[in-house]
Amino acid sequence: MLRQKGWVSVVALLLAACSSEPSETEILESMQTALSMSGQELLGGYQNAPELPTITSLEKIQCEYASSAKRYECDINLTLDTPAGEIKERGRVNLVEEGDGWAVVE
């Protein structure tokens, strides 16, 4: 009986690891990648292009799994450093797991 409980615990742990939501660090990395990619798409090829905003801080508030869309919807506090100054925003970001990381989706 004890051996059976041990296997149940191992299986539960593995399932939890496979379905865990993105961490604050993973959200930040995904947001930085998305910001960089969108900046390159908008400004690519322009000489003397304006400086892109940079993320100076990100706080994960909570994430909820949207099973119908197969993604996590995460509420965040975000601080950006822009040429016009610092901007603080509270918002929601949608993330899907891709390969070995997370990606921002609309």
Q: What is the pLDDT of residues 79-103, one digit of tens each?
A: 999 999 999 999 999 999 998 899 9
Q: How many CB atoms lie within 10 A of CB 72?
A: 20
Instruction: Express as a percent the part of the chain with pLDDT over 70.
Output: 72
Res. 64: pLDDT tops 60:
yes
Q: Where residue 55 sits, what CATH number does that domain have?
A: 3.10.450
Tell me the C-alpha distance between 47 and 2, whole Å: 68
Q: What is the mean pLDDT of residues 61-88?
A: 96
State the DSSP code for 60.
E
Which tokens sit at 98? 């891709």
Domain count, the chain: 1
Domain extent, residue 82, equals 2-105
97: left (phi over 0), alpha (psi -120 to 50) or beta: beta
